[in-house]
């Protein structure tokens, strides 16, 4: 599988395996094992998904060496700040059964709607991430769900520029300002819910375009991300779909079809806005 190169030179496989909403226990163990057997080498999880122990077991049982797997997790909103973030990292590493992470992200920015001192909170969290990075416990550090104003405030005092911003990204929800901001600064965009958490799959426009290529809508959405230099993280617990979602390197979406998908209006998404969340 092709890699993207992060702004610190670290290589990251261009499709990752998402585990949001994957139930803890055997389901997550089997899904991760299945993904690794199919050739995924990039697994994305988070403390708040509640499945890190099972994801770690899936990795261990797969037989794929740790060094061949790109593993991401995220610090949850209740653990923001310098000391808490350091502790949260230790727990995540312990739960996953690993001694380093390839990528660690701030899951959501602290925002003005919840905190007067939101900038300080994000900076303190980031200082802990920088510390872990310098200590070699994380190969790259980044953020998730940050908009340009959150990034501006963070970067103003940062020693390390984030390598990644993981955002909700699928047809009808392209977050163009955030993507342009990050791409201009070498911050890799990752797409959570590249299938709109499944909502895209029944969209008539996408169904029509996908059928031209003899591909599924899921494959079309994943390929569309890649052609925008965005890194998709499709989630599935179904073996046939896990495999299908990697079969995206044998076709190219034409410029005209890319433009048609880009022009799609909002047709459903999580509805979560980083400045309005209440969790």
Residues labelled catalytic: 49
Residues with Cβ within 8 Å of residue 162, at least 6 apart in sequence: 141, 142, 143, 146, 151, 154, 155, 187
Rg of the chain in Å (alpha carbons): 18
Quick one: which H or E segment has residue 179? helix 176-184
Smaller CB separation from ligand A2P, 188 or 193: 193
Q: CA dist 29 to 54, 57, 234, Å? A: 5, 6, 17
Smaller CB separation from ligand A2P, 18 or 162: 18
State how far the Cα of 60 lies from the Cα of 68, in Å rounded to an integer: 12
The least distance separating ligand A2P from the CB of residue 22, rounded to whole angstroms, comes to 7
Angle among Cα 20, 25, 30 to the nearest 5 degrees reads 80
The least distance separating ligand A2P from the CB of residue 70, rounded to whole angstroms, comes to 17
Smaller CB separation from ligand A2P, 37 or 201: 201
State how far the Cα of 26 lies from the Cα of 53, in Å rounded to an integer: 11
* Residue 196 DSSP one-character state: G
The least distance separating ligand A2P from the CB of residue 243, rounded to whole angstroms, comes to 9
What residues line the site for ligand A2P (CB under 6 A)?
Answer: 18, 193-198, 201, 216, 218, 234-238, 241, 244-245
- Helices 26-38, 52-62: inter-axial angle, 10-degree rounding: 40
Asked if residues 167 and 144 have their Cβ atoms less than 8 Å apart, the reply is yes
Asked if residues 192 and 169 have their Cβ atoms less than 8 Å apart, the reply is yes
Smaller CB separation from ligand A2P, 158 or 201: 201
State how far the Cα of 179 lies from the Cα of 108, in Å rounded to an integer: 16
Smaller CB separation from ligand A2P, 119 or 170: 170
The least distance separating ligand A2P from the CB of residue 216, rounded to whole angstroms, comes to 6
Smaller CB separation from ligand A2P, 60 or 201: 201
Quick check: helix, strand or coil at residue 217?
helix
The least distance separating ligand A2P from the CB of residue 197, rounded to whole angstroms, comes to 4
- How crowded is residue 47: how many other Cβ atoms within 10 Å of its Cβ? 20
Q: Give the strand pairing for 3-5 and 188-192.
A: unpaired
The least distance separating ligand A2P from the CB of residue 46, rounded to whole angstroms, comes to 13
């Amino acid at each position: 599988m092709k890699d993207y190169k992060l702004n610190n030179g670290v290589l990251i496989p261009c499709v990752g395996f998402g585990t949001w909403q994957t139930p803890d226990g055997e389901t997550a163990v089997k899904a991760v094992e299945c993904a690794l057997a199919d050739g995924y080498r990039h697994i994305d999880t988070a403390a708040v998904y509640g499945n890190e122990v099972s994801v770690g077991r899936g990795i261990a049982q797969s037989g794929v060496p740790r060094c061949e797997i790109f593993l991401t997790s995220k610090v949850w909103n209740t653990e923001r700040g310098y000391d808490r973030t350091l502790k949260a990292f230790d727990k995540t590493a312990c739960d996953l059964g690993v001694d380093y992470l390839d990528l660690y992200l701030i899951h959501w920015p602290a925002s003005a709607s919840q905190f007067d001192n939101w900038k300080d909170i994000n900076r303190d969290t980031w200082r802990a991430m920088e510390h872990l990075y310098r200590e070699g416990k994380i190969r790259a550090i980044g953020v998730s769900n940050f908009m340009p104003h959150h990034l501006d405030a963070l970067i103003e005092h940062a020693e390390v520029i984030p390598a990644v911003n993981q955002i909700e990204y699928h047809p009808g929800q392209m977050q163009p300002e955030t993507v342009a901001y990050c791409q201009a600064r070498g911050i890799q965009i990752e797409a959570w819910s590249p299938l709109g958490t499944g909502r895209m799959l029944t969209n008539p426009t996408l169904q029509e375009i996908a059928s031209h290529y003899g591909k599924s809508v899921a494959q079309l959405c994943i390929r569309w991300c890649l052609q925008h230099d965005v890194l998709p993280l499709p989630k599935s617990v179904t073996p046939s779909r896990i495999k299908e979602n990697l079969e995206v390197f044998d076709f190219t979406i034409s410029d005209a079809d890319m433009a048609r998908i880009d022009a799609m209006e909002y047709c459903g998404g999580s509805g979560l806005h980083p400045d309005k969340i209440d969790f």
